[in-house]
Structure 1
Amino acid sequence: MKEYSVCIVGGGSTFTPGFLKSFVRLREKFPIKKLVLFDIDKERQELVGKFGEILYKEHFPELDFSYTTDIKEAYSGMDFIFMQMRSGGLPMRQVDEHIPFAHGKIGQETCGAGGLSYGLRSVVDMIKAIYDIRTYAKDAWILNYSNPAAIVAEALRREFPDDKKILNICDQPENVIRSVSRLLNVDWEDLDPIYFGLNHFGWFKHIYDVNTGEDLLPKVKQIVKEKGFLPQDAEQRDASWLDTYGFVEKMLEDFPDYLPNTYNQYYLYPEYKFSKLDPNYTRADEVMASREKRVFSECEEVIKAGTLGDKFETISDAHAEMMIEVAISIAYNKNNRYILIVENNGAINNLQDDAMVEVVCELGINGPRPMRVGNIPQLYYGLLANQVSSEKLLVDAYYENSYTKALHAFTINRLVNDVTVARELLDALIEANKGYWPELK
């Protein structure tokens, strides 16, 4: 069985320790011989890297493990590159979230003005990163789940139209399915979903039992109505995530057709969500005060002790195992099913072909094969067509250095929806993103 060389871009992320552990857990299914962490933040990555050295010394001593800030060293000879970049880091995420609140709009990482702000930064950095990767690893699979994934996917579609080894993916639909499995008390691998939408804006049309063929969605709706909805790893989640999942119950009351992605609430209830969120303590603040401190303190404890001890089980991430499973499906041509971000081309029949949609795909060595969902009802078409237009206009703004196109993208976004406010937001974010965004004229 071939052993693979792997790079994780964003080696200093709080998600990386869980990733490192997952490579141990899945080493028989996905044997790797070399693993390199790459990050531009040397200090942040070094903490995770030292944790990794102790982890692999105890649990995977034959692995060639290293961490670096050098592009050539990171990418040369790689078979798979996992992209988890955060352009501007958490401090700029704070900017994305706080500035919209100051103008009476929701600040959110991937939705609304905050998502558009982050999107332009990510487009700049992701395009550069892909060119760097292709300089040193022209045949590597690039598994990208850097946010905001829909905007990044649209830009990469345009910049690299012939590169068939760039795969855009988000773990949130998978998280919802795993949460449904907890609700039903079944194995998540026994659930076969039918899903349509855009990244962070979609719905489960059906959820089948793979053993019986029964559509379990009616049962899921009833249980949510009676007991509410929790994430599959509720015990490890911050308060804001518990609230996010809990709101699924309300969305199902008002939109009973399909099970929603948790992020839909921002698009469907923006005024309510604005009234309930704290403009002085957003999700970025919460991450830095909770998850970041928790994960890095555990790394520090391991480094100080010189041994992993019982920390092998405490540092984990379901999304890391999912991403490795995606690599396995490609490497061994398994054609397993995943919800991926792909060019539409008729998957959602009545949505434009060049939209980057999120649907179930079979995934093997030649890439994804999307499963068609046919026409979607007018309500869902209208919501998605509006968001596609906002995202495409933003990417137009990047390529044309166009202030006007950026203004249009902000104006029609459902979380802004007013040209005067859009201009105020855009001007404030241009100032805040100096050095990150392209110059808009």
Structure 2
Amino acid sequence: MKLAVVGGGSTYTPELIDGFARLRAELPLTEIALIDPDEQRLALVGGMARRMLARAGHPAAVSTWTDRAAGVAGAAAVLLQLRVGGQAARNVDETLPLDCGCVGQETTGAGGLAKALRTVPVVLEIAETVRAHAPDAWIVDFTNPVGIVTKALLDAGHRAIGLCNVAIGFQRRFAAHLGVAPASVELGHVGLNHLTWERSVKVDGQEVLPKLIEEQGEEIAADIGLPVWVLRELGMVPSYYLRYFYAHDQVVAEQRAKPSRAAEVKAVEDALLEIYADPASDTKPELLDKRGGAYYSEAAVALIASLIGDRGDTQVVNTRNGDTLPFLDPEAVIEVPATVGAHGATPLPVDPVQPLLRGLIAHVSAYETLALEAARHGGERRVRDALLANPLIGQADLAADLAGRLVAANRAYLPWAAR
């Protein structure tokens, strides 16, 4: 079975390779095609991938491609993990909003919109290449903002599912707290990508979330960057990304006082590429843990194995809402547990969502609809409308100011803005 990775020159890729090697029984790959326009990075990462597989005794071949069509041809699944504009564009996403008093983050708020504007057109071009050269392939999107990108793919009729590592991260964290196997932990995960809450945690069918909050609340709160009283009052665990909403002003102050995350990641990436260039390096470096994306490979393996093998198991994915959350449009993309098989993903029934969550989910989902319109069709007014609808912006003068700044800063990536 051939798997293609678009963005294969990413420093994330050895995390994927490590998972493919460890979990070969779940996903028997014969070829891993790494596709990237950066030949130098592709050579470094491709060499590292080959050495890692050889050390593990994995028989899969690693091929490297700058030609997307040749790289995806015949693939059973195509994994998207690209970053249009690289860390330089990310740095703008994380710093420009701060000048206006807004959170600077690459997937949420104004920075997330800028990333969507750059990313959606490129992803749709890639998806058309997949349709032409690997028409039966599943597209698994790990490229942020995952919810918006996945909706773009589904709206265009592609076989696509979005993937995030937040849920598997919580599952592993809770399992470690409880001293149980991760597979025995079932999450009541609900919301949108990077806007989710764990409303239930069950171990072998028994609810343990109240116990977790009582016994491990301080530690969990520290992990997600929120006060423990928030967890206790809600009776649930918000994802780390809720911090941008629940502690907005505190986050802005913190971000202004230190280098951007993009600057930190750039330094980590440079060090990782030096490791990958060493012909003696053949194991996933510990430094990769600082790059982010924990458990990404395991989530990807499980999802692709279920899509190809029609396993019918339950996984947390990004997929169409349908009637799962009745207060959202059926065409919206949500992040919930779903049954995954050859048909794709079917969301499991969800208990009624509390008004405190429902309002914010609906608000952000409406913003995502407008963000996708701006990404697909362009126009500064559409960008302004999306910012005005975003709860982290939501003021007319601020939205207008930010729209002009975002378009100017990203003009090189927005063909409609160059006219």
Counterpart position of 1:176: 170
Matched residue SS, 2:416 = coil
* Residue 430 (structure 1) shift: 0.6
C-alpha spacing 1:351/1:61, structure 2 compared with 1 (3 Å):
closer
C-alpha contact (below 8 Å) 1:348/1:374 kept by paired residues: no
CA distance in 2, matches of 1:103, 1:92: 18
CA distance in 1, matches of 2:318, 2:208: 24
CA distance in 2, matches of 1:172, 1:183: 16
Counterpart position of 1:259: 237
Per-residue Cα deviation, 1:292-340 (whole angstroms, up to 9, x for no partner): 2443233133x2x3x52xx357467521122011111122221121111
* Residue 206 (structure 1) shift: 1.0
Counterpart position of 2:219: 228
Match of 1:34 among 26, 31, 34: 31
- RMSD (CA atoms): 2.0
Q: How does 1:124-273 map to 2 (within 5 A)?
A: 124-160=121-157, 163=158, 165-210=159-204, 213-225=205-217, 227-229=218-220, 245-247=224-226, 249=228, 251-253=230-232, 255-273=233-251
CA distance in 2, matches of 1:338, 1:73: 31
C-alpha contact (below 8 Å) 2:80/2:143 kept by paired residues: yes
Code of the aligned partner of 2:214: Q
C-alpha spacing 1:279/1:154, structure 2 compared with 1 (3 Å):
farther
C-alpha contact (below 8 Å) 2:118/2:375 kept by paired residues: no
Matched residue SS, 1:27 = coil
CA distance in 1, matches of 2:223, 2:89: 22
Counterpart position of 1:235: none
* Residue 58 (structure 1) shift: 3.5
Matched residue SS, 2:202 = strand
Counterpart position of 1:348: 325
C-alpha contact (below 8 Å) 2:68/2:126 kept by paired residues: no
* Residue 279 (structure 1) shift: 5.8
* Residue 399 (structure 1) shift: 3.7
Q: Which shifted more, 27-36 or 198-207?
A: 27-36
C-alpha spacing 1:250/1:273, structure 2 compared with 1 (3 Å):
farther
C-alpha contact (below 8 Å) 2:116/2:144 kept by paired residues: yes
Counterpart position of 2:93: 96
Give the paired residue count: 413
Code of the aligned partner of 1:281: P
CA distance in 2, matches of 1:136, 1:78: 8
Q: How does 1:274-423 map to 2 (within 5 A)?
A: 274-278=252-256, 281-290=259-268, 292-301=269-278, 303=279, 305=280, 308=282, 311-312=283-284, 314=286, 317-423=294-400
Which runs of 5 or more residues in structure 2 are unaligned?
Answer: none
Matched residue SS, 2:323 = coil
Matched residue SS, 1:19 = helix
Matched residue SS, 2:143 = coil
Match of 1:431 among 394, 402, 408: 408
C-alpha contact (below 8 Å) 1:341/1:356 kept by paired residues: yes
Match of 2:22 among 7, 10, 25: 25
Code of the aligned partner of 1:171: N
CA distance in 2, matches of 1:367, 1:151: 18
C-alpha contact (below 8 Å) 1:84/1:145 kept by paired residues: yes
CA distance in 1, matches of 2:177, 2:225: 13
Matched residue SS, 1:439 = helix
C-alpha contact (below 8 Å) 2:116/2:375 kept by paired residues: no
C-alpha contact (below 8 Å) 1:248/1:262 kept by paired residues: no
CA distance in 2, matches of 1:5, 1:185: 37
Matched residue SS, 1:229 = helix
